[in-house]
Structure 1
Amino acid sequence: MKRILLMSFLVICLLMQSCDDDFLVNPPEDQVAAEYFFNTGKDLEVATNDFYTMLPTTGTYTDDGSSDNMMQLTPAARIRGGRIVPTERGSGGWNWTRLRDINFFLENYNKVEDDMAKQHYSGVAKFFRAYFYFDKVVNFGDVPWYGQVMEAGDPELYKPRESRQIVMDSVLADIDYAIENIPEQVQLNRITRYTALILKARIALFEGTFRKYHNIDGSDKFLNEAVSASQELINSGAYGIYSAGGPEEAYRGLFARDDQDVTETILARDFDQELEQHNLGYLMTAPTMGGWGMTKDAVNSYLMTDGSRFTSKEDFQTMEYYEEMQDRDPRLTQTTAGPGFTVIGESSPEPVSLDASTTGYRIIKALPPRSQWNAAYFDVIIFRYAEALLIFAEAKAELGTLTQGDLDISINLLRDRVAMPHLMLSEANTNPDPYQENLYSNIEQGENKGVILEIRRERRIELFNEGLRWQDLLRWKEGKKVEQPMVGIYFSSLGAHDFNNDGTPDVYLHQGDASGAPSGVTSLINVMQKPLTNGTSGNLDPFSDGGEFVEPKDYFYPIPIEDLQLNENLEQNPGW
C-alpha cells in the first residue's frame, strides 16, 4: 500500500499542479490533465489514494502531550497560553490546498463510465472533504464553505465565513453520502463504509456536545446522529474488543504489536521495517526528546480493581508510588510503567528510570520492543471500535436516553477486557464522584450527571494518548481544566525511595549532592532541576508556571494576518 500511495501522490501532484499551492485556484492546465486522466475506475482509485496523506500518523500518539493528560519537556503553546496570530498566508492551519484537490476530483470523476467505481470513489472523496472541514471547524469555528473548484478572480474566493451550522450540515451531508456509497468492507488500511460510520460518530459527538455546552442551537440533532452512527457500527458485528493475552496484557498489546488486525482496529497507518519507519520509540525513550509523563489527576482517575474510587482513600494525594499502583484498573500499568515494569519481549524488569518522564509516570502505551526504540515500524491506530462504544454511551447520556442495557453493550465491554466491575447507571447517578466533578466545572447538573462523569472517566482512561483529549476539553467547554495543576509522582521527602518494594532503593532525591545515594539506585533526581511542589516534598512539578486558557478566545485558533488582508470579508476570531 505504501508504494501505491507514494506513486499516487506523485501522479496527482503532477496532474493537479497543487502540491505547493496554498490557494483554491490553479492554472488551466488542470482541465487538460483531467481530460486525459479521468477515464477508468483505476484512475479514480489512484486519484483518491493521494487523499490518504491527509490522515494523521505518529502525531496521533503524541498529541495528548499538548493537553492535561501528559506533560512534555516543553509545555505546548496551547496549554500555556502562548499561541500567537500567524502572519503568513495559509499558515497556522488555515490552508485550503487539499480541499481544492478534493473538489477537483469531484468535478471530474463523472467522466469515467464505471458506475461502481464512481460510486465508491466519490464516496471516498466526500469522506475526506468531511474530514477536512471537520478539522477546520474544530480549529476555527465558522469557515467559508467551498463546494467547487474556484477560478482566479471568482468573487466567491473572497466571501465571508459561513456559520458553523451551515458548514456542519454540509459536513453531515458529505459523510452520509460516503456511508451510502462506499462498500461495506472490513479493510485495515482503506476507507470503507465502517470508517465513514466511525468518522460520522466522532464528528456528531463533537458537534452535539460542543453545541450543548457552548449554548448553540441544534445539539440534539447531532447527538442523535452520533447515536445512530455508533449503533449501526455496533449492530454490524464487524468488530469486537481485542482481548489476546487476557486482562493483564490485552490493552497494552493492542497498541504495541507490530501489525494491527481488524479485530478492533477499523483504520490504521501501516508501517514496515523495510519500507517505512517512524520515530515514536525514540521519542518515548530518549530523555532529551518528548519526556512525556502522565499527570497526577489522570492517574487518580483510574479506579481500584473492585470498582471503588481511588480518590475515596483519605491519603490518595500523599500516597507514594508503589502503594498507589496497587490493585488498580489494569489499564493503569499498561499505560504508565508500574512496579516491575518489563519491556515487551524481555523477561527481566526494566530498571526504574524517571529520566524520560517529566512527571515520573513514564508512558508505556504503544511502547514497542527495545529493538524499535531507535527506528520503529509498529502500526499506528487511527480509528478503533472502542471509540464507537464510548461515543454511543456518551451521546445517549447527554440526550438523557441512556439505559443500563446501553452501558452493557458499550462501556462494560471495555471493562470486561480488563476484568473490571461493570458501570451501573443507578449507582453512578445516585452518588456522583466529587473528584471527577471538580475536574469538570461545566458538567450538566441533571439526573445523569453521575454517569456522564463516569463516561468521561472511562473515555479518558481508554483513549489516553490517542489524540482526542484536547478536542474533548474544547467540546465540553472545559478549557480552564488546563489551569489545574499538572503535576507528577508524590515524594514524602528527599532521600531514597523504593519503587518496587523489594527492599532496594531505586530513586534518590537530592538538592545538588547525590553522594549519599545508596548503591543500586537507578534514578537520581535533583530537585533544584526537577522541583517538587513543596520544595523538599510534594509532587514533581514540571509546569510550575501553570496553564493559561482565556475564555472564549482560546477555543479557536487565529486566522493569519495575510489572509485577512487578502480577503476583507473575513473576520478574525474573537479575542485574537
Structure 2
Amino acid sequence: MKYKISFILFTMALFLTSCNDVLDRPSLTTAEDSEYWINEERVRLYANGFYANFFVGYGEKNETAYAPNANYIFSDNGVTLGTQKQFVRSVPTSKGSNSLTVEWEDTYTGPTWNFAWIRKVNVMLDRITQVMPNLLTEEQYNHWVGVGRFFRGLEYARLVNVFGDVPYYSKEVTTVEKDELYKDRTPRDEVMDAVYNDFEYAMNNVRLNDGAQYVNRYIVASFVSRWALIEASWQKYHYNNNVRATKFFEQAIAAADMLMASGKYDIETDFRTLFGSTDLTSSKDCILYRKYDAGKNITHSIASSCVMNTPTTNGANLDLVKAFICTDGKDWQTSALANTDDFTLSNLIKTRDPRFEASFYNEPTSLAKSSYLYVTKFIPRSALEYLKIPGGTPAAEFQSDKNVTGYPIMRYAEVLLNWIEAKAELASIGGTAVAQGDIDRSINKIRNRPLAPEAVALGVKKTVKMVLTELPNDPDRDRSVSALLWEIRRERRMEFAFEFSRIIDLRRWKKLDYMDTDRNKELLFGTWVNFQKEAAAELKPDNKNKIRVIDKSGKIIVYDGANGAQMNGFFYPKENLGRLPFIDLPNINPYLSPIGTNDITFYKNRGYTLTQTKGWPSVN
C-alpha cells in the first residue's frame, strides 16, 4: 500500500532534545522515560517523528532542503548563470560542515556530522527491547523493532555516503559514557554490515500493511534497493572489493524482487502527471507519496519554480540535452531518424525520449537566464495555460509557497532501474548475465509508460524497446563503462533529472570528473536558440555585446546589434564560468566530506582523537 504522507501532527515535546557534544542530550520529556512506553500507540507516536527527516518530498513552505528542482544545479545536468557551484577545496572550521558547499546536503546526499537521529532511534529500540517485550505481541514487537532498525539503517547509510567511516552506536549512549561519546570513527565496512543486517531484519519483520500513513515492508524494500545499490557501487568502484560489492548488489536485487513479485506496482501514469498531481495515493507508480493539503497549511514552493512567471538563473545544460536518447533507441549521433542533429526544441520534442518533452517548456525562453531551457517537470500542464492569455498570471496555488501538488518520494520506476543496474553490475563481476527478459521487465516497462495527450499533440512518440543485441555504440560513451551499463545509466539520467539522484550516482560510480567544466565545455552551454525566429525581442540595443551563442563548429557569435541573422546556436552567456579543479588534487577528496577542524579540536580538548575523513588533511 502506498504511504500518503500528510505529515502527522504530533506532540513535538516527545522528540525535541537539546544539543550535546556528539549525541543529543537526553530530553527532559517522558519519551525518554520507561513510563512512556506502555503500548503500541506510544511507539507509533514516537516513530512518527522520523518521517519528516527521511521522507521530505517537496519540503514545506519555502524550505527546500533535499527537495527536487531546488539544488539540482550541482551536477552535470544543470548550468547556473555565473560561476558554477564549487567543490570545497579545504577543510572547514565550523561544526557539522559539509565538503561540497550547501548543495551536498540539499541534494539529498545526507546529513551533516550529527548523530541525533541515531540516538533517537536507539532510544526507541532500547525501550522496545528492554521495557516492552511483555507489553507487545510478538508480531507487534517484531514490526516495531523492524521499523526502528529500518530508520537506523537509513540514517547510517546516509552518514556513510557522506563521510565514509563514522562512529557506530547500536544502543543509547548516556552522557556519562565518555569513551563511547567520544569514540573515533568505526570502519565503513563494519558500519555497513550493521546496516545490511538492519535492512534484512526490517524486510523480514515490518508489516506488509500497517495502514495508509505508515511504513510497510514494501516501502522498506524500495529504500533498501536504493541504498544497497549505492554501497555496492561504492565497494566496486572506489575499493575494488567485489566480494562486498556482490553482497550489496544481491541485497538490492532481492529487495527489488520483493516489490516486483508482489503485483502491487506498475508503470501506468504519464511522466508529467507523476509530479503535477495533487493525489496519486492510488497510483501503482508510487510506493511512497507525499500529499499536501492547503487546509492543513501543509504546502510547498517547488511548483512555483516551474511556473514560467519569474526568471531563474538555473537551467539544463547541453550535456544533458544530448544525453536524451532518440525514439529509435539510439544516441543522437548514431540514430537512423532524420535530423537528429537539429537541436531546435520543436525537433527535440519529436525525436527524443518522451521524458524530454515532459521535463521542459517547449520553447526557448530568456526567463532561463543561463540556458534558455526552462524546467517545468514539477508542475501540471494545466498550470501553464495562463501563458496563452495576454497578461495572464498563474493561479494562486502556483505562486509563492502555496503549492499543493504531491511528490512521489519513491517510485516503482526507481526500483526497476535499481534492479536492472544491480543485475548488470553483478554480471560484470561474475554474476549471471543480464537477459532480454530482464530488460523487458525493467527498462522496457518504463519506456512503455503512457503518453499525455498534450505530448502526443506535439509529436511525442514512445522510445522503442531496448534490445540487448542492438545496444547503441554511442561515440560519447565513457569507454571504461560497458555499453549496457552506459545505457542503464542514461535511463537513470533521463528518469531522475532534477530529482535526488544524479550527484549521488556520479559519486558512487566514481565519475565526478563528468562535472569538470575544463574537460567538458558543454556543461556551460544551454539549448539551441535561433534568436531571429524564437527570441527576436531579445535582439535590442540593450543586449548589444551581452548575448552570445556558440555554433556547431565551436565558433562563438556575439550579438553586435546588426548580426541578428547569425545569432543561431547554443546559448552561451559570457557569465557562465567553469569550476576550479577538484579532481586528483592533494589533500582534497571530493567524494567524501571532511569534518570541521572545530570538531577535531573539541575531541582533543577532552582527551580523545577524532580522525579526519580519508583524503583530507588532519589537524596537528
Normalised-by-shorter TM-score class: 0.7 to 0.9
Q: Does 1:570 align with 2:596?
A: no
How far did 1:497 drift? 2.2
Q: Does 1:11 align with 2:14?
A: yes
Paired position in structure 2 for 1:373: 398
Matched residue of 2:295: which SS?
Answer: coil
Paired position in structure 2 for 1:539: 570
How far did 1:233 drift? 1.3
Q: 1:284 aligns with which of 299, 306, 312?
A: 306
Report the TM-score, using the length of structure 1 for normalisation: 0.84
Paired position in structure 1 for 2:524: 487
Give the aligned residue type for 2:260: I
Report the TM-score, using the length of structure 2 for normalisation: 0.78
The percent identity for this pair of structures is 27
How far did 1:365 drift? 0.9
Q: Distance in 2 between matches of 1:75 and 1:131?
A: 34
1:105–1:458 Cα change, 3 Å: same
Matched residue of 2:532: which SS?
Answer: strand
How far did 1:331 drift? 1.4
How far did 1:223 drift? 1.1
Q: Distance in 1 between matches of 2:447 and 2:21?
A: 46
How far did 1:4 drift? 6.7
Q: Does 1:307 align with 2:329?
A: yes
Q: Deviations over 1:165-187 (max 9, x none)?
A: 11111111111111112111286
Q: Distance in 1 between matches of 2:375 and 2:529?
A: 23
Answer with 278-287 or 119-128: which moved more. 278-287
1:28–1:473 Cα change, 3 Å: closer
- Figure out how many residues of one structure are paired with residues of the other and give that number: 522
Q: 2:376 aligns with which of 353, 359, 364?
A: 364
1:442–1:563 Cα change, 3 Å: farther
Give the aligned residue type for 1:539: F
Contact 2:321–2:527 at 8 Å: present in 1 too? no
Paired position in structure 1 for 2:410: 383
Answer with 549-558 or 267-276: which moved more. 549-558
Q: Distance in 1 between matches of 2:183 and 2:479?
A: 38
Gaps of 5+ in 2: 59-65, 99-111, 384-393, 428-432, 451-461, 551-555, 559-566
Q: Does 1:355 align with 2:367?
A: yes
Q: Does 1:405 align with 2:437?
A: yes
Paired position in structure 1 for 2:583: 550
Contact 2:57–2:67 at 8 Å: present in 1 too? yes
Q: Distance in 2 between matches of 1:528 and 1:258?
A: 45
How far did 1:106 drift? 1.0
Matches within 5 A, 1:442-521: 442-443=480-481, 449-483=482-516, 484-485=520-521, 486-491=523-528, 495-498=531-534, 506-510=535-539, 513=541
Give the aligned residue type for 1:252: R
Q: 2:217 aligns with which of 183, 189, 193?
A: 193
Paired position in structure 2 for 1:434: 475
1:96–1:326 Cα change, 3 Å: same
Matched residue of 1:277: which SS?
Answer: coil
Matched residue of 2:49: which SS?
Answer: helix
1:545–1:149 Cα change, 3 Å: same
1:238–1:83 Cα change, 3 Å: farther
Q: Distance in 2 between matches of 1:239 and 1:364?
A: 26
Paired position in structure 2 for 1:257: 277
Give the aligned residue type for 2:295: E
Q: Does 1:105 align with 2:124?
A: yes
1:290–1:144 Cα change, 3 Å: farther
How far did 1:282 drift? 2.4
Paired position in structure 2 for 1:140: 163
1:97–1:27 Cα change, 3 Å: closer
Q: Distance in 1 between matches of 2:126 and 2:237?
A: 38
Q: Distance in 2 between matches of 1:252 and 1:173?
A: 37
Q: Deviations over 1:213-232 (max 9, x none)?
A: 11342211111111111122
Q: Distance in 2 between matches of 1:131 and 1:61?
A: 19
Answer with 386-395 or 292-301: which moved more. 292-301
How far did 1:29 drift? 4.4
1:267–1:289 Cα change, 3 Å: farther
Q: Distance in 1 between matches of 2:255 and 2:127?
A: 30
Contact 2:316–2:374 at 8 Å: present in 1 too? yes
Contact 2:334–2:473 at 8 Å: present in 1 too? no
Q: Distance in 1 between matches of 2:18 and 2:510?
A: 36
Paired position in structure 2 for 1:44: 43
Matches within 5 A, 1:65-80: 65-73=73-81, 77=85, 80=86
Contact 1:8–1:47 at 8 Å: present in 2 too? no
Answer with 44-53 or 356-365: which moved more. 356-365
Matched residue of 1:337: which SS?
Answer: coil
Q: Does 1:60 align with 2:88?
A: no
Gaps of 5+ in 1: 244-249, 340-351, 444-448, 499-505, 515-525
1:316–1:4 Cα change, 3 Å: closer
Q: 1:295 aligns with which of 307, 317, 337?
A: 317
Q: Distance in 2 between matches of 1:65 and 1:210?
A: 23
Paired position in structure 2 for 1:502: none
Q: 2:247 aligns with which of 217, 221, 227?
A: 221
Paired position in structure 2 for 1:168: 192
Give the aligned residue type for 1:559: I
How far did 1:441 drift? 5.8
Contact 1:386–1:414 at 8 Å: present in 2 too? yes
1:193–1:173 Cα change, 3 Å: same
Q: Does 1:325 align with 2:357?
A: no
How far did 1:46 drift? 0.2
Paired position in structure 1 for 2:63: none
Q: Distance in 1 between matches of 2:82 and 2:170?
A: 40
Q: Distance in 1 between matches of 2:83 and 2:116?
A: 30
How far did 1:550 drift? 2.3
Q: Distance in 2 between matches of 1:541 and 1:22?
A: 48
How far did 1:3 drift? 7.9
Contact 2:366–2:372 at 8 Å: present in 1 too? yes
Paired position in structure 2 for 1:518: none
How far did 1:73 drift? 4.7
Answer with 156-165 or 21-30: which moved more. 21-30
Give the aligned residue type for 2:117: R
Q: Distance in 1 between matches of 2:317 and 2:204?
A: 42
How far did 1:260 drift? 2.0
Q: Does 1:421 align with 2:464?
A: yes
1:417–1:2 Cα change, 3 Å: closer
Q: Distance in 1 between matches of 2:32 and 2:361?
A: 54
1:57–1:84 Cα change, 3 Å: farther
How far did 1:490 drift? 4.8
Q: Distance in 2 between matches of 1:383 and 1:32?
A: 30
Q: Deviations over 1:401-422 (max 9, x none)?
A: 2111111111110011153211
Contact 2:6–2:293 at 8 Å: present in 1 too? no
How far did 1:10 drift? 3.6
Q: Distance in 2 between matches of 1:328 and 1:3?
A: 36
Q: Distance in 1 between matches of 2:422 and 2:544?
A: 45
Q: Does 1:393 align with 2:423?
A: no
1:311–1:492 Cα change, 3 Å: same
Matched residue of 2:287: which SS?
Answer: strand
